[in-house]
Amino acid sequence: MTEDIEVLIADDHPLFRNAISEALTNTQTLVHVSQADSLESTLQRLNEGNIDLVLLDLKMPGSEGLLGLIQIRNQFPEVAVAVVTANEAGRTLAQVKAAGALGYLPKSMALEDLVSALDGLLRGTPFYPEGLNQGVDSQDDVEAIRKLATLTPQQQRVLALIARGFLNKQIAYELDVKETTVKTHVSEIFRKLDIYNRTQAAMYNQYLEVPE
């Protein structure tokens, strides 16, 4: 279709999408911009093909934290993804890095820095800010999150309630299904996460909620 580089901006803040879009026009590369405001619409646009680079906000409706990133990397390994986020904690940076993102752009960056970073990203050059603390457990973290990404939406809901200490009975009431159904989900969660009780599941779920 086009010879431009296709960029998808995935962020739930319209203002910020415009700001990044603006920055992209100042790069030395011809780009064509698509936008998405949720993980769902992001995946949908990716399915339509032709995307070269995704600029992804980690805090979006549909899936908080790293789940979205991993999901995209799983389903579209050939698409470059750079994370754009307000969260500047070092732990997240390490996770993003190990999860295979091409770059990490703090929202606090100066515009000119952003432009030059984008310039590099469009040419396939990784970009990571310096000076941020390196997390330690990044490899284990990413492995954990990769497993979490295999859970179906309903299973993720069940897991979240397990992590709040809910009984199967309470979870059933909350999700308006039978307790036997919950048990089915629970067993499947254990199988996917390679664990054998709900307390371990609760700890696992931490990975999705800690990043503030």
Task: Please give the residue ranges that form the binding site for DNA (CB under 7 A).
Answer: 152-155, 167-169, 175, 177-178, 180-181, 183-187, 190-191, 196-199
Would you say 39 and 68 are in contact if contact means Cβ atoms under 8 Å apart? Answer: yes
Continuous H helices in 26-136? 39-47, 67-75, 90-98, 111-122
Q: Which of 123, 164, 169, 178 binds a copy of itself (CB under 8 A)?
A: 164
User: Contacts with a copy of itself: how many residues (CB under 8 A)?
Assistant: 14
Rounded Cα gap, residues 50 and 132, in angstroms: 33
Residues 6 or more apart in contact with residue 60 via CB below 8 angstroms? 10, 11, 12, 37, 38, 39, 42, 68
Our finding on whether 108 is near a copy of itself (CB under 8 A) is: no
Please identify, among the stretches 59-67, 75-83, 106-114, 196-204, the one whose residues bind a copy of itself according to the rule CB under 8 A: 196-204
Q: Which of 114, 163, 171, 208 binds a copy of itself (CB under 8 A)?
A: 163
Stretch (H or E) spanning 82 = strand 80-85
Q: Least separation, in Å, of the C-beta of 190 and DNA?
A: 5
Cβ proximity to a copy of itself, 22 vs 194, nearer residue: 194
Q: For residue 100, what are its two tokens?
A: 């295979």
Interface positions with a copy of itself (CB under 8 A): 162-165, 167, 195-200, 202-203, 206
